[in-house]
């Protein structure tokens, strides 16, 4: 049962523009959400996270928004850079610390 | 961020042999480590949770006798794929849990191991 869903398998954006990645979840017990970035043949790299008691968290070019009522979160990257081209995974957890991952969204930043 | 080292990064072995993969947290103590498997173009699938000094907890459908996990210290966990077969060929990734400032735990990942069984 896929509790975390990333419905867009790919996203193409022009360098300098905003990248918006979306993630939906079904388990209302999730209380912590994370975004990871992954290059081919490498492990995921932690990007940013947000607690369920907040609706926004910002770190440099990365901002995560959480809409609990809609069970939806998004990651904004602005401005997008060529080095941002990678696969982005959304993940969620409740107190038992196991992460549930989405299927990932492949971002391609065009020069 | 915290550094997790995974070794080897790539291994090729003959069918029937066993392969050991190491996962080390280099600059922090990890009470819990996780082992994932990733199939091409799919998400990470949690295989097992490894707690230091105790038996690993395996996810449903993962054979514990096939995938042996040992968490001997706060900085080292190993995954041994026993009697490997071609269907075990995959990308295996470990992670270590680090307690964050807000009391929430962030997992930091190793670089992964590409296993190819001939």
B98-115 residue pLDDT tens? 766 555 678 899 999 999
Instruction: Verify whether the Cβ–Cβ distance B44 to A89 is below 8 Å.
Output: yes
CB contact under 8 Å between A41 and B46, yes or no, is no
pLDDT score, position A96? 62
| Alpha carbon of B47: minimum distance to chain A alpha carbons (Å) | 11
Contact A32 B107 (CB under 8 A): no
**Cα A109 from Cα B79, distance rounded (Å):** 36
Q: Please give the C-alpha separations between residue A31 and each of A66, B59, B69, B105, in angstroms, as whole numbers.
A: 11, 21, 29, 11
List pLDDT tens digits, range B7-16.
Answer: 999 999 999 9
Whether residue A86 is preceded by a cis peptide bond, meaning omega within 30 degrees of 0, is: no
Residues of chain A with confidence (pLDDT) below 70: 1, 96
Cα B107-A41-A7 angle, rounded to 5 deg:
70
Q: pLDDT tens for residues B67-100?
A: 999 988 888 999 999 999 999 999 999 999 876 6
Residue B40 predicted with pLDDT over 90: no
């Amino acid at each position: 049962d896929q509790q975390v869903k990333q419905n867009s398998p790919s996203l193409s954006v022009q360098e300098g523009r905003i990248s918006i990645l979306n993630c939906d979840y079904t388990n209302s017990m999730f209380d912590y959400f994370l975004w990871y970035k992954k290059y081919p043949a490498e492990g995921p790299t932690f990007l940013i996270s947000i607690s369920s008691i907040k609706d926004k968290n910002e770190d440099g070019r990365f901002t995560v928004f959480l809409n609990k009522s809609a069970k939806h979160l998004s990651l904004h990257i602005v401005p997008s850079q060529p080095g941002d081209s990678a696969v982005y995974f959304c993940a969620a957890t409740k107190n038992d610390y196991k992460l549930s991952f989405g299927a990932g969204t492949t971002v391609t930043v065009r020069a | 961020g915290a550094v997790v080292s995974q070794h080897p990064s790539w291994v090729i072995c003959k069918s029937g042999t066993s392969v050991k993969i190491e996962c080390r947290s280099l600059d922090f103590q990890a009470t819990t480590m996780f082992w994932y498997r990733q199939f091409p173009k799919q998400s990470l699938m949690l295989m097992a949770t490894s707690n230091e000094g105790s038996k690993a907890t395996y996810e449903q459908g993962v054979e514990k006798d096939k995938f042996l996990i040992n968490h001997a210290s706060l900085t080292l966990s190993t995954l041994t794929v026993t009697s490997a077969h071609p269907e075990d060929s995959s990308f295996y990734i470990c992670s270590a849990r680090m307690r964050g400032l807000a009391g929430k735990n962030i997992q930091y990942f190793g670089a992964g191991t590409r296993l190819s069984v001939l």
